[in-house]
């Protein structure tokens, strides 16, 4: 597996006319604003999506219980319903918009390619990371009406552990008070059903596209390095990789992979702009990466 220190990202400020742009190592310049003209991940910004995003998280936080997650993992982990290639799934995302995202209202395939291409420019030798950028949100295929009947709150949004206390840093934390696990002594302590340093592989995360795509990739025997699988499963775990929460559950391998996730996260977040990608132009490159790291057809579960 690649070493985390090979691609460390340093943030620095440079002057651009009268504005200050964030520049990542390699030259990717972060837009000054998201697709709505606001700062990134500002859940309090006055926008047409603000109310909808908050309502989304209210339902999400009430319904994502330990028992619900176990049920979803057991059901969707069967992967016995459909065989389909990764690019085919990417194309199905064209008509899907993530209701939990305060930064983006473009079709998901646009975001996947924006992320992948930004990483490719700055880290040309890490092709596994380019592919991870492309497929990290493919699990959102669960939102497609022909693929699943799951509601948005069970597919997208920030993720967090279930089976232990909900950390205060989780967005819209106040709504957890209505979650049945919130007052359950089995689940509401710091460690809950887990032990210190048990490793995130052994922790149940709120159910959604991250965990689903992780299971699809792993069970279809991808040859992506463990850092790639870690990124796929935990890229929406903002309480951990942006706020430092839940470090007590992590082991040594988690800490190493976290460095790659921090690199990836900058591109995942800050590439959400109106800059378009020529899909047909870059398609051959990503098809070659899919062929390198995945079987031609993958097994999926639809519900």
Tokens describing residue 248: 């007590």
Q: Is residue 140 annotated as involved in ligand binding?
A: yes
Tell whether 241 is in a known binding site.
Answer: no
DSSP 145-209: TTT----GGGTSS---BSSSPPPTTSTTGGGGGGSGGGG-TTTSSSSTTS-TT--GGGSPBPPSH
d(CA 196, CA 142): 33
> Please, are residues 65 and 72 in contact by the beta-carbon 8 Å criterion?
no
Residue 209 annotated as lining a ligand binding site: yes
Backbone φ/ψ region at 146: left (φ over 0), alpha (ψ -120 to 50), beta: alpha
What is the C-alpha to C-alpha distance for residues 203 and 21, in angstroms, rounded to an integer?
37
**172 annotated as belonging to a binding site for a ligand:** no
Query: Does the annotation flag 75 for ligand binding?
Result: no
98 marked as binding residue: yes
**Residue 6 counted as an annotated binding residue:** no
Q: Reduced to 3 states, what is the DSSP secondary structure of residue 226?
A: helix
Q: Is 136 annotated as contributing to ligand binding?
A: yes
Ligand-binding annotation for 173, yes or no, is no
Residue 111 is assigned to a ligand binding site: yes
CA-CA distances (angstroms) from residue 195 to 126, 164, 192?
34, 10, 8
Q: Is 206 annotated as a binding residue?
A: no
| Distance in angstroms (rounded) separating the CA atoms of residues 2 and 128 | 10
Q: How many CB atoms within 10 Å of residue 276?
A: 10
99 labeled part of a ligand binding site: yes
Residues in the annotated binding site? 41, 98-100, 111, 136-137, 140, 157-158, 209, 235-236, 268
Residues in the annotated binding site for substrate? 41, 98-100, 140, 157-158, 235-236
Residues in the annotated binding site for Fe cation? 111, 136-137, 209, 235, 268
């Amino acid at each position: 597996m690649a070493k985390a220190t090979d691609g460390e990202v340093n943030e620095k400020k440079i002057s651009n006319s009268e504005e200050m742009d964030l520049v990542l190592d390699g030259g990717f310049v972060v837009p000054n604003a998201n697709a709505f003209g606001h700062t990134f991940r500002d859940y309090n910004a006055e926008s047409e999506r603000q109310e909808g995003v908050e309502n989304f998280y209210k339902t999400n936080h009430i319904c994502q219980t330990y028992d619900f997650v176990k049920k979803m993992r057991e059901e969707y982990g069967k992967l016995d319903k459909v065989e389909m290639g990764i690019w085919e799934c990417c194309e199905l995302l064209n008509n899907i918009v993530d209701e939990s995202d305060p930064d983006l209202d473009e079709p998901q395939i646009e975001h996947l390619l924006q992320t992948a291409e930004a990483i490719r420019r700055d880290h040309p030798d890490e092709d596994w990371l380019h592919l991870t950028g492309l497929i990290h949100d493919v699990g959102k295929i669960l939102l497609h009406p022909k693929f699943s009947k799951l509601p948005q709150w069970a597919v997208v949004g920030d993720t967090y552990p279930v089976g232990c206390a909900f950390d205060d840093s989780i967005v819209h934390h106040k709504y957890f008070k209505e979650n049945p696990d919130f007052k359950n002594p089995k689940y509401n302590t710091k460690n809950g059903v887990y032990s210190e340093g048990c490793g995130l592989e052994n922790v149940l995360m709120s159910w959604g596209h991250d965990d689903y795509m992780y299971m699809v990739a792993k069970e279809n025997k991808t040859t992506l390095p463990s850092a790639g699988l870690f990124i796929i499963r935990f890229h929406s775990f903002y309480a951990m990789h942006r706020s430092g929460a839940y470090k007590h559950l992590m082991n040594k391998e988690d800490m190493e992979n976290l460095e790659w996730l921090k690199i990836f996260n900058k591109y995942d977040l800050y590439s959400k702009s109106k800059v378009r990608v020529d899909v047909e132009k870059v398609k051959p490159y990503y098809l070659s990466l899919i062929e390198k790291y995945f079987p031609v057809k993958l097994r999926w579960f639809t519900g």
